[in-house]
Structure 1
Amino acid sequence: MSALTPWRRMLLAMTAMSALGESAAAAPASYLQRKPQDEVIYFVLPDRFENGDATNDHGGPARGTLVDGFDPTRAGFYHGGDLKGVTRRLDYTQGLGATALWLAPIFVNRAVQGPPGQESAAHHGYWITDFTDVDPHLGTKADFKALVDAAHARGMKVYMDIVVNHTADVIQYKECPDGRCAYRGVADYPYVRHGGVDGAPINDGFDGKDFGKLKRADWAYTPYVPAGQERAKAPAWLNDPIYYHNRGDSTFAGESSLLGDFATLDDVFTEHPRVVEGFIEVYGRWIDEFGIDGYRIDTARHVNPEFWQAFVPAMLARAKARGIPNFHIFGEVFDSDVATLARHVKVDKLPAVLDFAFQAAVTDVVTGRTGPDRLASVFAGDAVYEGGEATARQLPTFLGNHDMGRIGHFVLKAHPNIGDDELLARVTLANAIMLTARGVPTI
């Protein structure tokens, strides 16, 4: 199937509602053959989209906001959206011109966490405890299968948002009763000493490669699993602290970017062969069981390249065996520098990354901070990606997201006194650029 030109893609998006009946009938036979660069993605945070089943709002029995996390009056808690709601609204999303749904993580989460008085809920889906099942706030595996099947029947694809870098904050450190620990680096706290270079020898002979010699996890801190949470995670191997870095909170600089806990979230030891094998099996099974069409990878830059070099080919092979030849994988690298983004394609071997450089450039242009040459500079960098411009055409482009906000917010921030007409004109320009430029528009 030939690639869609930008103008053709925009026209398809603009006329999708009127052509919905015809396209829904014609598309299913060919959706598997569509290339990643020919999609228009609609990103959905299921909890904030549509409540299709009020019986699952609490994820089980109602146990109070600080236990089950449900409180639609508070921004940081569950609001009731679910997979049935997403399925119910497929006419709407397809009518917008979307050809693929990207769902925020749907796995079982630790519903509420945070220090007393600062708790919030996992409505976003990124505090995973069970990677093998659907969070009960969102529904069941049967609900997910119904959504995927319904989308496929229309010729739409479904991308899952996955996490490898971390799990929910279950593991604690004895040295840090308040739950926050400063990062302790490898030089001062080597894996072969307990609690620092002057500590007693442990893990005799471990050189960073022979993981069979890694027996104790107390090289930097003394990790433990609180009573009653010994089986909080699934698969079961994730409950063992030996499969985590246990070095305290990342500063998001230097080695801590790879080895530190992401704001207390348990940082998985992704160098460990058991972890590599385990996550390949976990995420391969979701492909096997549901025939999904791609993965968006959360916090991809905080995982060692060797993991992705093993994981990506395994997922593509699993998808191919399932009859999915155009499985799309794109990582989140939260950086607006083209060279940094390209590095994670070149070195990590990720097929694509979210185009944060495009987002920053479009924002600068439509708010008037820079001229259009800012965008020209971004596009000129397409050649540095592994695969060059062909890879750049597969980068999902976007104007805002669930971490940073929407494009209208950025325009208002830059021009607090702007009138409605000008605001609409600037936001319309931003969307026109996204829908007509190279890349995969992500709404």
Structure 2
Amino acid sequence: MGLRWLAMLAAALLAALPPGVGFAASDYRSPEGHANTPASAPSRSGVWYEIFVRAWYDTDGDGIGDLNGVTEKLDYLKSLGVDGIWLMPINPSPSYHGYDVTDYRAVNPQYGTLADLHRLLEAAHARGIRVIMDLVVNHTSDRHPWFLAAPYPADPHHAWYSWAGPGTDLDARSATGGQAWHALGKQHYLGIFTSGMPDLDFDTPAVRKEIIAIGRYWLAQGVDGFRLDAARHIYDDFAATADDPAMLHRNLAWWSAFHGAMKAARPDVYLVGEVTRDEPKQLAPWYGPLNAVFDFPLAAQLVESARNERSGKLVELLKRVAAEIPAGQDAPFLSNHDQERVMSQLDGNAQHMRTAAAMLLTLPGRPFIYYGEELGMRGRKPDPDLREPMRWHRDPHGPGESRWKRFSAGDGPDVSADAEEGDAHSLLARYRMLIDWRRELPVLRDGVLHVPDVPNRRLATWELTDAGHDVLVVHNLSRKPQTLKLGGPLARFRQVRLASDPGGRVAAGQLQLPAYASVVLQ
């Protein structure tokens, strides 16, 4: 019954799409298929970089980062080796973060103009860098014209939002843990995040049609895809239904239809979703309806393994990832704009930060880096302190530095792009090296993952294979040298192809690894 119901819903969703839009959600190319990428370009790293434009780089002196600032710093991103950037919300919004949109077809005037975005896209594509933007459609701002008209039942936009009926439990908890229903006069509307973010009702055909049109609009401007905010909450609204298969099916049907419509406009569109679940098996159904979803369970475990200097639960988790997630399509990361920065989670331990980065950037898939992570920027809750200005100069008041808020993390002048640029031993240099490994050995990006049973829990070890390569990745998580006997199934790995430390070597059938070192054997 479940599959038939899903098919019926998908058909209904498709019926609301514009003419000529097809449904082929599982037939997509990887991000490396971008038409603007020169045929002679070097191998791709598959790495994405998340940017909060407000905090990035200011070109007009108002203290707020802008789109021209992103363009200004594309060469920095190119030197880092990333292939794509994710722009946090750039639409008009009454908030500093932008996750409550008031106009889906415009650019936040604090960030610039549509012409500025076009220049950014052209410059990025000329460097082989793709650009995706946040698409925040689970909800609008309560100041959006749609919602301002919605309280009036005679207005068509009334049906664009969800309103409580006579039997509604007005005390119901939302799927995000807060109050689900909010009063507006004598009515109550659904807003699972806050009262300022009323949820759109995707059972209304006009809503689905408009969201499809918005996506097609931005693709026509040259954007390469979308990061889909709150992707699991299109229908998963209440804490009581968080694990209801019907909610999952309805979400997947909608995103399958959306993906099909976007592919009809742009075959190589990239869609990555925010799906906050705890297990790879809960993420697996989203592959196909979307290109990828962020791997939240893996992010938490990578940080924990680096912090504790033990693989811990990483081995079993990676085995589940290998079993559930299509090869080369995972979207691993360490932290993002909603989480405490990695360096803060690791209590400022630079070696642990290097270890976490090394694990992230030697796993298959399309890893995401949060801006400033490569410099070791710190940041703890509340949320604004996780989104502080990017540190370009030793002097935080240097040219181009965003001043949208004061620094709270206490990072000194050494945590800056200027300070780390010429330092071969800096964290920035380590990130560049690791990303370059992915370009040199595409198997690190696209390989099939296999996790051997290695008794030494001070090591994190996995194999990656593709048509031309078979490699073993080994990380010493600890402060002491470690050895790995290369016997049995591992006996074929005898040569060090890449190493973060020259002391990593194979001798007498054993791999010898210095403290916190990483190697790739072939």
Q: Is the contact between residue 301 and residue 344 of structure 1 (CA under 8 Å) also seen in structure 2? A: no
Match of 1:153 among 126, 148, 152: 126
Taking the aligned partners of 2:117 and 2:231, their CA distance within structure 1 comes to: 25
Deviation at 1:101, TM superposition (A): 0.8
Which consecutive aligned stretches of 4+ in structure 1 deviate over 4 angstroms post-superposition? 31-35, 247-250, 253-257
Taking the aligned partners of 1:103 and 1:429, their CA distance within structure 2 comes to: 27
CA deviations on 1:159-187 (whole Å, 9 max, x unpaired) are 11111100012389xxxxxxxxxxxxxxx
* 1:356 maps onto 2:296 in alignment: yes
Structure 1 residues 5-24: aligned runs within 5 Å: none
Match of 1:43 among 43, 50, 53: 50
- Report the 3-state secondary structure (helix = DSSP H, G, I; strand = E; otherwise coil) of the residue aligned with 1:130: coil
Match of 1:23 in 2: none
* 1:400 maps onto 2:335 in alignment: yes
Deviation at 1:47, TM superposition (A): 0.2
Structure 1 residues 267-286: aligned runs within 5 Å: 267-286=199-218
Match of 1:167 in 2: 140
Q: Is the contact between residue 165 and residue 299 of structure 1 (CA under 8 Å) also seen in structure 2? A: yes
Match of 2:113 in 1: 140
Match of 1:288 in 2: 220
* 1:410 maps onto 2:394 in alignment: no
Match of 1:317 in 2: 264
Q: Is the contact between residue 139 and residue 191 of structure 2 (CA under 8 Å) also seen in structure 1? A: no
Two-structure CA RMSD over aligned residues (Å): 3.4
* 1:433 maps onto 2:359 in alignment: yes
Structure 1 residues 48-197: aligned runs within 5 Å: 48-54=55-61, 57=62, 80-109=64-93, 111=94, 122-170=95-143
- Report the 3-state secondary structure (helix = DSSP H, G, I; strand = E; otherwise coil) of the residue aligned with 1:158: strand
- Report the 3-state secondary structure (helix = DSSP H, G, I; strand = E; otherwise coil) of the residue aligned with 2:105: strand
Q: Is the contact between residue 46 and residue 365 of structure 2 (CA under 8 Å) also seen in structure 1? A: no
Match of 1:21 in 2: none
Taking the aligned partners of 1:312 and 1:3, their CA distance within structure 2 comes to: 14
1:239–1:379 CA distance, 2 compared to 1 (3 A): farther
Deviation at 1:34, TM superposition (A): 8.2
Match of 1:377 in 2: 316
| Structure 2: unaligned runs, 5 residues or longer | 1-28, 165-169, 182-189, 236-250, 370-522
Q: Is the contact between residue 170 and residue 266 of structure 1 (CA under 8 Å) also seen in structure 2? A: no
Taking the aligned partners of 1:160 and 1:314, their CA distance within structure 2 comes to: 17
Deviation at 1:384, TM superposition (A): 5.0
Deviation at 1:406, TM superposition (A): 1.1
Match of 2:198 in 1: 266
Q: Is the contact between residue 271 and residue 307 of structure 1 (CA under 8 Å) also seen in structure 2? A: no
Instruction: For 1:246, give the aligned amino acid.
Output: W
Instruction: For 1:360, give the aligned amino acid.
Output: A
Instruction: For 2:67, give the aligned amino acid.
Output: L
Deviation at 1:29, TM superposition (A): 1.4
Match of 2:230 in 1: 299
1:317–1:367 CA distance, 2 compared to 1 (3 A): same
Deviation at 1:230, TM superposition (A): 4.5
Match of 2:38 among 29, 37, 40: 29
Match of 2:174 in 1: 251
Q: Is the contact between residue 101 and residue 144 of structure 2 (CA under 8 Å) also seen in structure 1? A: no
| Structure 1: unaligned runs, 5 residues or longer | 5-26, 58-78, 112-121, 173-223, 232-236, 321-325, 413-419
Deviation at 1:130, TM superposition (A): 0.3
Q: TM-score, normalised by structure 2?
A: 0.53
Q: Is the contact between residue 303 and residue 342 of structure 2 (CA under 8 Å) also seen in structure 1? A: yes
Instruction: For 2:269, give the aligned amino acid.
Output: F
Q: Is the contact between residue 102 and residue 144 of structure 2 (CA under 8 Å) also seen in structure 1? A: no
CA deviations on 1:327-380 (whole Å, 9 max, x unpaired) are 21110012332222224337xx22210111110110110111x83142222221
Tell me the number of residue pairs that the alignment of Structure 1 and Structure 2 aligns.
303
* 1:338 maps onto 2:338 in alignment: no
Deviation at 1:48, TM superposition (A): 0.6
Instruction: For 2:52, give the aligned amino acid.
Output: L
Deviation at 1:245, TM superposition (A): 1.2
Q: TM-score, normalised by structure 1?
A: 0.62
- Report the 3-state secondary structure (helix = DSSP H, G, I; strand = E; otherwise coil) of the residue aligned with 1:128: coil
